[in-house]
Chain A
Amino acid sequence: MTVLAHSSPPGDSQLDERGCGIAGWPATRLLAGPQRSLGPEPLELHSRRVGQFVPPASSEQAVELVGASGLLGRGGGEFPFAEKLRAAGAAHGPPLVVVNGSEGEPASRKDRELLELRPHLVLDGASWASAAIGAPQVVIYLEAGRCAAWQAMRSALRERRIERTSDPDFHFVAAPDRYVAGESSAVVSVLEGRGPLPRRRPIPVAASGVGGRPTVVANTETLAHLALIARFGPDWFRQAGSPRAPGSTLVTLAGEVVNPGLVVEVVEPIATHRILTSLAGLDGVPEAVLVGGYGGRWVDGPAIWDAPLDRAVFRAAGCGLGCGLLAVLPRRRCGLAVTHRILDYLAGESAGQCGSCLFGLPALVEGLGALIAGRSGRRGPDRLHAAAFELEGRGGCGHPDGAAGLLQSALEVFGADAHRHARRHPCGRDRDGGWFPVPSERRRRP
Chain B
Amino acid sequence: MTLRKPVGTWRLTFDGARCAGHGICVLHCPDLVTLDEWGFAGVDKTPVSQRGVLRRARRAVRACPEGALALRRLDSSPGFRASTERPLQSRVSAGFEIAPSGVGAE
Taking beta carbons and an 8 Å cutoff, which residues of A are in contact with B?
Answer: 197, 199-200, 202, 353-357, 359-360, 363, 390-391, 393-397
Contacts and interface: CB of A to CB of B under 8 A. Distances in A.
Given A202-B84, A393-B45, A359 B17 contact: no
Contact of A356 (B13, B18, B38, B45): B38
Given A202-B84, A393-B42, A354 B37 contact: no
Given A363-B37, A394-B36, A355 B45 contact: no
A353 B18 CA distance: 8
Interface of B: 13, 15-21, 36-40, 42, 45, 72, 84
Contacts of B36: 355-356, 360, 390-391, 394
B38 A396 contact: no
- In the A-B complex, the 7 residue pairs with the smallest Cβ-Cβ separation, listed nearest first, are A354-B16, A396-B16, A396-B17, A355-B40, A353-B17, A394-B42, A359-B38
Contacts of A360: 36-38
A202 B85 CA distance: 9
Nearest to A197: B17
Contact of B16 (A202, A356, A363): A356
Contacts of A354: 16-17, 19, 40
10 contacts: A353-B17, A354-B19, A354-B40, A355-B19, A355-B36, A355-B40, A356-B38, A356-B40, A356-B42, A394-B42
Main secondary structure of the interface of A (DSSP, over half): loop
A200 B40 contact: no
Contacts of B72: 202
A294 B37 CA distance: 25
Contacts of B38: 355-356, 359-360
Contacts of B39: 355
B64 to A, nearest CB: 14
Given A356-B36, A397-B17, 19 more contacts: A197-B17, A202-B13, A354-B16, A354-B40, A355-B16, A355-B19, A355-B20, A355-B38, A356-B42, A360-B36, A360-B37, A360-B38, A363-B37, A390-B42, A391-B36, A394-B36, A394-B42, A396-B15, A396-B17
Contacts of B15: 199-200, 396
Contacts of B13: 202
Contacts of A393: 42, 45
Nearest to B40: A355
Nearest to A198: B17
A394 to B, nearest CB: 4
